[in-house]
């Protein structure tokens, strides 16, 4: 990359800079297109309402939907949980088949806590995952193959900005934004809040396919 701009010594754009820009571009593409997508499951235990997300889905950046034993759970904000489930952490709150959830402090909280009939059944997350970083030249960016050219546009724009070619950089970043926006319009999911402060509207339940 440096050679294309006559900076073979990496005086203005080092290899570390290039890798950082590649990873910034991957993250930006992921954020705008909600790719890549993933699922994760864990078994629940009787009486245990809280599960650490980092233990079974550590790479969440946007949560789409949560299911328990094949049924979609109703999402609650922390404010709704405080208002409608004021006794949610009181000892002996009772158990049942979970029907709702909320997220706080890297934990998913189920309401009600699973009863004996729920023991061992699966909690399943549908989410957008954080792409792994590129660390060496041989690494393949974890975004759709057809978007690799857009990633090149992003990185070239950063290099041009660094070497003082702002007008050319602006053109490259505008092209990047345009093509990524087109890809975003084809995404399956509507835009949602980012984890861990998940903002999920009630239409998620009806939208789930």
User: pLDDT tens digits for 60-69?
Assistant: 888 899 999 9
**pLDDT for the residue 11:** 53
Query: Residue 121 and residue 45: Cα distance in Å, rounded?
Result: 8
**pLDDT for the residue 65:** 94
**pLDDT for the residue 91:** 52
| End-to-end CA, the chain | 43
Pairing of strands 71-72, 122-129: unpaired
Query: Residue 200 and residue 135: Cα distance in Å, rounded?
Result: 34
- Tell me the HSE value of 10 on the side-chain side, using a 13 A CA sphere: 7
Quote the tokens at residue 170. 């602006």
Q: Which of 92, 98, 100 is nearest to 115 (CA)?
A: 98
Burial 146-173 (b: 16+ CB within 10 A, else e): ebeebbebbbbbbbbbeeebeeebeebb
Assess contact for 10 and 99: CB atoms under 8 A.
no
Assess contact for 161 and 169: CB atoms under 8 A.
yes
Q: Which residue has the tokens 């992003």?
A: 154
Query: Residue 114 and residue 46: Cα distance in Å, rounded?
Result: 5
**pLDDT for the residue 37:** 87
Assess contact for 53 and 174: CB atoms under 8 A.
no
Quote the tokens at residue 63. 């949560």
Q: Which residue has the tokens 């990496």?
A: 10
Residue numbers of the chain with a pLDDT score lower than 50: 2-3, 9, 188-209
């Amino acid at each position: 990359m440096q050679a294309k701009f006559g900076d073979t010594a990496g005086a203005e754009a080092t290899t570390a800079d290039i890798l950082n820009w590649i990873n910034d571009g991957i993250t930006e593409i992921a954020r705008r297109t909600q790719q890549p997508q993933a699922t994760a499951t864990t078994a629940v235990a009787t009486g245990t309402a809280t599960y650490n997300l980092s233990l079974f889905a550590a790479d969440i950046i946007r949560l789409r939907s949560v299911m328990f034993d094949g049924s979609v759970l109703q999402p609650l904000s922390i404010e709704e949980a405080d208002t409608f489930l004021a006794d949610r952490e009181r000892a002996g709150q009772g158990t049942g088949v979970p029907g709702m959830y909320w997220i706080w402090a890297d934990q998913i909280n189920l309401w009600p806590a699973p009863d004996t009939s729920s023991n061992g059944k699966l909690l399943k997350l549908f989410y957008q995952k954080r792409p792994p970083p590129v660390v060496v030249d041989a690494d393949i960016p974890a975004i759709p193959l057809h978007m690799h050219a857009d990633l090149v546009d992003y990185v070239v724009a950063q290099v041009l900005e660094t070497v003082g070619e702002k007008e050319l950089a602006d053109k490259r970043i505008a092209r990047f934004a345009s093509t990524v926006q087109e890809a975003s319009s084809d995404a399956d999911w509507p835009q949602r809040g980012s984890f861990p402060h998940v903002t999920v509207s009630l239409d998620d339940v009806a939208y789930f396919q």
